[in-house]
């Protein structure tokens, strides 16, 4: 289980770093869009700033949860459950953003390398976290028997 915890922490840190990287890209795009539309404030949409805040918040959340998992190791299922729930929510939101018109950002039609990489990392987080939760449950049951 130790290698699973290390894998999970690596995936969480990598995903958090990726989201923080994306937020810096969004800041650059939002700044450029703001400068281009400085004379026409009604043409400037706040979607880019909302995306920036969203990606920064996600990146900032993944990293402490990954570190929390190293501290609690095999004593608490909470960080792993949060990682599963958060990753599932983000995958669902990604699918929704590609199939429906979401306020502020609209319907997205691009699928890039970073999109695919983040979903693969999140899938790994879900799988490894589920494995760790099951291992913790097995260990708890084993302790009850003995």
Does residue 33 surpass a pLDDT of 80? no
- Residue 37 has which token pair? 């539309």
Q: When comparing pLDDT for 70 and 131, which is higher?
A: 131
For the ranges 13-22, 42-51, 84-93, 126-135, the lowest mean pLDDT is seen at: 42-51
Share of the chain above pLDDT 70, in %: 90
For residue 2, count CB atoms less than 10 angstroms from its CB and return exposed for 0-12, middle for 13-18, buried for 19 or more: exposed
The DSSP code for 121 is H
Range of the domain at 58: 2-145
Residue 87 has pLDDT above 90, yes or no: yes
Quote the pTM value. Answer: 0.83
Count of domains for the chain: 1
| pLDDT at residue 43, rounded to an integer | 45
Checking if the pLDDT of 47 tops 70, the result is no
Q: What is the per-residue pLDDT for 64?
A: 92
CB 7 within 8 A of CB 125: no
The C-alpha atoms of residue 54 and residue 25 are separated, in whole angstroms, by: 13
Q: Which candidate, 110, 114, 129, places its Cα nearest to that of 15? A: 114
Question: pLDDT confidence of 145, banded at 50, 70, 90?
Answer: confident
Contacts of 24 (CB under 8 A, 6+ apart): none
């Amino acid at each position: 289980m130790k290698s699973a915890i290390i894998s999970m922490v690596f995936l969480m840190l990598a995903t958090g770093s990726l989201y923080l990287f994306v937020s810096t890209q969004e800041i650059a795009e939002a700044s450029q869009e703001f400068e281009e539309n400085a004379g026409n404030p009604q043409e400037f949409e706040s979607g880019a700033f909302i995306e920036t805040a969203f990606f920064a918040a996600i990146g900032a959340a993944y990293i402490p949860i990954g570190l929390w998992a190293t501290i609690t190791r095999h004593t608490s299922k909470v960080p792993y459950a949060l990682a599963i729930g958060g990753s599932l929510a983000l995958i669902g939101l990604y699918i929704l953003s590609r199939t429906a018109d979401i306020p502020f950002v609209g319907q997205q039609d691009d699928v890039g390398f970073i999109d695919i990489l983040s979903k693969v990392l999140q899938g790994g987080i879900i799988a490894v976290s589920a494995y760790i939760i099951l291992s913790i449950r097995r260990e708890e049951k084993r302790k009850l028997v003995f």
